[in-house]
């Protein structure tokens, strides 16, 4: 995750409280999604950015997980996301992010 976005995530969590923040990822591959999810839960694994050593424990989803699809506007989903839903490996992306969420999100996602 680039350094500027790490700072924005950190600022948002501090300002609004981690329990009120949900991070939604649009990553194309499961390795990238896992690193992003790790960054917003355990901290930056590359130790390069503002979240290095900062375990925010935020609730994190990939946008293609069923819970996010259910929360989205169906017509807009069809228009904006359904194409990528067909192209990307939804199961692998969902598995990578849900595992990280289950193990490392300290705030409830409900």
Partner 1 sequence: MAKLEGKKLLLLGERDGVPGPAMADVFADSGAEILFSATECFV
The least CB distance from residue 31 to partner 1, in Å, is: 11
Could you say which of 3, 14, 16, 103 contacts partner 1 (CB under 8 A)? 16
- 13-37: b (≥16 Cβ within 10 Å) or e: beeeebeebebebebeebeebbbbb
Asked if residue 7 binds partner 1 (CB under 8 A), the reply is no
Cα(50)–Cα(17) distance, rounded to whole angstroms?
17
Asked if residue 80 binds partner 1 (CB under 8 A), the reply is yes
DSSP element (H, E) containing 34 = helix 30-41
The contact pattern for partner 1, residues 37-66, with x = CB under 8 A and - = no contact, is ---x----------------------xx--
Asked if residue 100 binds partner 1 (CB under 8 A), the reply is no
DSSP state of 62: E
Asked if residue 1 binds partner 1 (CB under 8 A), the reply is yes
The least CB distance from residue 6 to partner 1, in Å, is: 10
Estimate to the nearest angstrom the gap between the alpha carbon of 52 and the chain centroid. 17
């Amino acid at each position: 995750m680039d350094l500027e976005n790490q700072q924005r995530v950190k600022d948002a969590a501090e300002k609004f409280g981690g329990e009120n923040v949900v991070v939604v990822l649009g990553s194309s591959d499961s390795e990238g999604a896992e690193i992003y999810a790790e960054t917003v839960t355990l901290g930056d694994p590359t130790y390069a950015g503002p979240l290095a050593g900062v375990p925010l424990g935020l609730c994190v989803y990939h946008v293609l997980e069923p819970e996010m699809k259910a929360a989205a506007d169906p017509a807009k989903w069809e228009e904006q996301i359904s194409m990528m839903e067909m192209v990307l490996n939804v199961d692998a992306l969902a598995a990578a992010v849900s595992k990280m969420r289950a193990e490392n999100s300290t705030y409830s996602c409900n």
